[in-house]
Structure 1
Amino acid sequence: MECVIREATVEDCENLMSLIHEIADFHHLLEDVTINSQVLKADGFGKDPFFKCLLAEQPVEKGCKPARPIGHALYFFGYNVNHGRMVYLENLYVVAEFRGKGIGKQLLSKVAEIALEAGCVEMKFVTMEWNRPAKEFYVRLGAHDTTDSEDLHCMVLDRDALQRLRQHGKEKMTR
């Protein structure tokens, strides 16, 4: 299916937030979403953006309603001490009625283009264990699952853990 892929702008934050809620609901994680469109604006479109985002839109026909967001790819750049520059795909989502039509592949293709132009040598991302269609999609594109092959586990320190860790560091420095 033909679609328009473009960089998201600050004006897209409400629509992007709707897509984020949709994917969170799809993953049964809606209650985990604590950000809103204002946070997206500050974090993605401020002086030092934490992320970049591409939107996929249904093409506009002459005289018809405005373009409709039908998917997004949210990503940021990072560094791998073994390989160098990398891009991390935080979120890839295509609205249910448009899945299986090549939209996700078009979004990922554009992220790959941007990553290569920035000198990146790899793209990393995670997918839910139960989401077999997503895993199969990524494998078809050439991805490999490092869960077993590299014996890696994805670890997270939440806000409370970060605060405890910071406090621990302050206590050590004052001794």
Structure 2
Amino acid sequence: MTVTIRPATPADLPLIADLIRALADYEKLADAVRFDEAVLGAKLFGARPYAEVIIGEVDGAAQGFALFFHNFSTFEGRPGIYLEDLFVRPEARGSGLGKALLSQLAALAVERDCARLEWSVLDWNEPAIGFYRKLGARLMDEWTVMRVDGAALERLGAGAGESA
């Protein structure tokens, strides 16, 4: 069994879309997937890419991906890599592909002088949490994720420039 990791190209867009949908199914969030494939492609491979994707293959067949982007730590004064999505198809789990994807991201973080590699995991996903812990990751229990989206984002953005 041969595991390889490669950067995604624009030709991989249908594959990336399929893997995102498969991840959403696994996470029981299929109804939350709303992307337009053309817009996704423009955001990943256009003039100003907002994220990067690596593809994981087992014996030449694409079986997983990682989508990531840079964030920045003011305390460290250096960038980090934020892993938005990591997914390995069920038939390829146990092949070492998940570890290979994360190892590639760690190598990129070191190469790019990043202070850290971080991501979120659903609290019910015990298999993933156990896997990440075995790789040396730790839970950041003292932090709570916050989000503004949809109509609330529109309302908040409409108030830009107003004084409090």
Distance 2:36 2:99 in 1: 27
Q: How far off its partner does 1:37 sit? A: 2.2
Which has more radius of gyration? 1
Deviations 1:127-168 (A, max 9, x none): 011100100111111111012xxx210011103222101112
SS at 1:55 equivalent = strand
Query: Is 1:163 the equivalent of 2:157?
Result: no
Query: Is 1:29 the equivalent of 2:22?
Result: no
Distance 1:160 1:69 in 2: 37
Q: How far off its partner does 1:82 sit? A: 1.3
Distance 1:26 1:130 in 2: 12
User: 8 Å contact 1:17–1:36 — kept in the other structure?
Assistant: no
Runs of 4+ with deviation above 4 angstroms: none
Distance 2:48 2:59 in 1: 31
Give the structure 1 partner of residue 41 of structure 2.
41
- Tell me which of 38, 50, 73 is aligned to 2:66: 73
TM-score by length of structure 1 reads: 0.88
- Tell me which of 128, 137, 144 is aligned to 1:153: 144
User: 8 Å contact 2:58–2:92 — kept in the other structure?
Assistant: no
Query: Is 1:98 the equivalent of 2:89?
Result: no
One-letter amino acid of the counterpart of residue 6, structure 1:
R
Mark the runs of 5 or more structure 2 residues left unpaired by the alignment: none
TM-score by length of structure 2 reads: 0.94
Distance 1:96 1:36 in 2: 25
Distance 2:74 2:143 in 1: 15
Distance 1:123 1:88 in 2: 6
Q: What RMSD in Å do the two structures reach over aligned CA positions?
A: 1.5
User: 8 Å contact 2:3–2:96 — kept in the other structure?
Assistant: no
Deviations 1:87-134 (A, max 9, x none): 000000000011112100001111111111111010110001110010
Q: How far off its partner does 1:169 sit? A: 2.2
Distance 2:143 2:63 in 1: 33
Q: Which has the higher mean CA deviation after the structures are superposed, 11-20 or 37-46?
A: 37-46
One-letter amino acid of the counterpart of residue 124, structure 2:
W
Q: Percent identity?
A: 35
One-letter amino acid of the counterpart of residue 152, structure 1:
W
One-letter amino acid of the counterpart of residue 69, structure 2:
F
Distance 1:28 1:36 in 2: 20
